[in-house]
Chain A
Amino acid sequence: MNEADDVLVLGGEKFTSRLIMGTGGAPSLDVLDRALEASGTELTTVAMRRLDPAVQGSVLDVLRRRNIRVLPNTAGCFTAGEAVLTARLAREALETNWVKLEVIADERTLLPDPIETFDAAERLVADGFVVLPYIGDDPALARRLEQAGCAAVMPLGAPIGSGLGIRNPHSIELIVEAASVPVILDAGVGTASDAALAMELGCDAVLLATAVTRAQRPELMAAAMRSAVEAGRMAKLAGRIPRRRYAEASSPSLPRFA
């Protein structure tokens, strides 16, 4: 197939890159800038926080310069009400109706609260948002959110920032099989093989931040993630061979000597 035809369609928009970068955790805007470029990402998350007059430079300047679409998140929200208000503020500030919906249950695990997330998703869809919810690896919740009108579902591989990879590949596969909206593996990626696995499992894209921004060499890891996502996607499209218990000769089976 022609690689140019393999685009990600998300919320009616087309993306060539299937790697969505977060901006959290980078030691400086300069490091972030170079990592974003190396990642090839076309969509990048930001958080909404109280304006601090002392802060110089903005992540928005970096994204604007690189022509990267901004995806505000609702990180830090514990209730549907907080998340809806944050999404509306983001829409006002950033002039986008896209939102990565993130409603967490507690500070220690940062695991998403399914009840609050679903409540917020319904309200935001009704308010005209393109809602991309961050959820646990729960196929039933993924289905319900799709039915509620979400533009994608974003199950975690493992807790945010943990780098534990994909703890339950089977659940991710179940979500992928049932979904007709894009499935974006979000959170838990630690290294390139995790991102490749997500794509091999059939995810449409990978969202990651910490694995790159807190790597010893963020720019190099960003390039590694870009390659991993591309490799995993191609492997998925190519169709892997079945696993088998015993060997299957790859050389002709005729005897070498008559």
Chain B
Amino acid sequence: MKVTINGAAGELPDGTTVAEAVRTLTALTSGVAVAVNDVVVSKGAWKSTSLAENDRVEVLTAVQGG
């Protein structure tokens, strides 16, 4: 299925979870937050939340700023 992660479109197997999608970017879990289609998915729900076709996943962390 087609999923966009941080603006980059790619193919992921059907049923890929948020946790698995995050792992394509980083092994970290602390200091990281995820939104799918502009809705926050809390860390506790990463493993139980499956992505769907055309989902937009944003994986954010803190950087220098402000």
Residues of B within 8 A of A92 (CB): 33-34, 40, 42-43
Q: Are A50 and B62 in contact (CB under 8 A)?
A: no
Is B58 part of the binding interface, using a Cβ–Cβ cutoff of 8 Å?
Answer: yes
Question: How extensive is the interface on chain A, given as a class?
Answer: 35 or more
Whether B13 sits at the interface, judged by CB under 8 Å, is: no
Give the distance in Å from the alpha carbon of A112 to the alpha carbon of B62 in the complex. Answer: 21
A85-B38, A93-B31 as given contacts; A50 in contact with B66, CB under 8 Å: no
From B25, B32, B63, contact of A47 by CB (8 A): B63
Q: Point out the residues of chain B lying under 8 angstroms from A75, CB to CB.
A: 65-66
B60 contacts the other chain (CB 8 A):
yes
User: Is there contact, CB below 8 Å, between A90 and B62?
Assistant: yes
- Could you mark each residue 148-184 of chain A with 1 if its beta carbon is under 8 Å from any beta carbon of chain B, else 0? 0000000000000000000000000000000000000
Contact partner, A60, options B31, B35, B59, Cβ 8 Å? B31
Q: Residues 1-36 of chain B: 1 if any A CB is under 8 Å from the residue's CB, otherwise 0? A: 000001100000000000000000110000111110
A73 CB contact (under 8 Å) in B35, B40, B59, B65: B65
- Of the stretches A10-18, A19-27, A188-196, A245-253, the one at the interface is A19-27
**A47 and B65 contacting across the interface, CB-CB below 8 Å:** yes
Residues of A within 8 A of B (CB): 22-26, 29, 32, 45-51, 53, 55, 58-60, 70-73, 75, 85-86, 88-94, 100, 102, 209
